[in-house]
Structure 1
Amino acid sequence: MIDNIVSPGHSYKIVFSCYEVRMSHWIEQPHLIRVSDSKIVFSLNGASWSAFKVQWHDDETVFMRVSKYPGRISLDITLNVNRDAGSAVGEFKSFSGTLSQVSNWILAL
């Protein structure tokens, strides 16, 4: 199981829902949570998206590289909580919008 990844100023954290889909293959589904009230501000819940890289740029901006299981779709996601804005970039597709719009776009892939 992966530990939470906390932003530099401890205002936000990435929490993972982890579950096994095949022997020795785990989905590590990311959820962006505001620490002050435990509110989920971004989530890929409901589909098999797994994060394999998470990096905070500052206290409000996080980068995640995710891939969908099964399949070979991978995306680079950048989210800024303060601006309620994000982008998702893949090999042939990209999208920018609010955090909710980005989540919905990814979940529809």
Structure 2
Amino acid sequence: MTDSESPSGRFRIAISAWEARMSLWIETPTVLDKTTGETLLSFKDGNWSLDAARWLSDSIVELTLRKYPGNHLPVNIIATLDCANRTARIGEKEVQFLAEVESALDNALTWRTVTPPPRAARSGFASAVRRFFFGK
């Protein structure tokens, strides 16, 4: 993903990329108002990554975001930012201030926990010796 500007050039999405693991890049966006120099959206947790940005108008942008690591549902979340009014929508939820976007995104995730499968019952001579010596 590369940096992106609104149609008029007033708003800009700057990307800061880092490699989480081999060939897995996290591209954290920052949304800026070039006229005022104000940072409209900045992520404290650098694990949010921008997969796509689509300008719907000069001041409204749709961001498709994912959070690393990906053990959550949904995999991607769409945040629609109104840069001029400094508000957003995440799914059906209205966000009054852009400073609240990151916590609203975090709250929209359902984390999955992975539990290992149960150990299979051991049988046979090797298992009997292991149980005798190690109690397992």
TM range (shorter): 0.7 to 0.9
Partner of 2:57: helix, strand, or coil?
coil
User: Which has more helix, going by share of residues?
Assistant: 2
The equivalent residue for 1:96 is 94
By relative contact order (CA 8 Å, sep 6+), the higher-ranking structure is: 1
1:26, CA displacement in angstroms?
0.3
For the pair shown, the structure with the greater C-alpha radius of gyration is 2
Tell me the SS of whatever aligns to 1:40: strand
The aligned length equals 104
Q: What is the alpha-carbon distance in structure 2 between the residues aligned to residue 5 and residue 47 of structure 1?
A: 19
Please say if 1:17 is aligned against 2:7: no
- The CA deviation string for residues 11-44 of structure 1, in whole angstroms up to 9 with x for no partner, is 0000011000000100000110111243210122
Q: Which runs of 5+ in 2 are unaligned?
A: 110-136
User: What TM-score results when the alignment is normalised by the length of structure 2?
Assistant: 0.69
CA RMSD of aligned residues (A): 1.7
For 2:104, the aligned partner's letter is W
| SS of equivalent residue, structure 1 residue 17 | strand
Give the Cα–Cα distance (whole angstroms) in 1 for the partners of residues 93 and 39 of structure 2.
21
Residue of structure 1 in register with 2:2 after alignment: 3
Structure (1 or 2) with the greater strand fraction: 1
2:84 pairs with 82, 85, 96, which one? 82
Equivalence map 1:63-82=2 (5 Å): 63-71=62-70, 72=72, 73-82=75-84
Structure 1 runs (4+) greater than 4 angstroms displaced: none
Structure 1 residue runs without a partner (length 5+)? none
Measure the CA separation in 2 of the matches of 1:95 and 1:43: 19
Supply the AA of the counterpart residue of 2:94.
S
Normalising by the residue count of structure 1, what TM-score does the alignment of the two structures yield?
A: 0.84
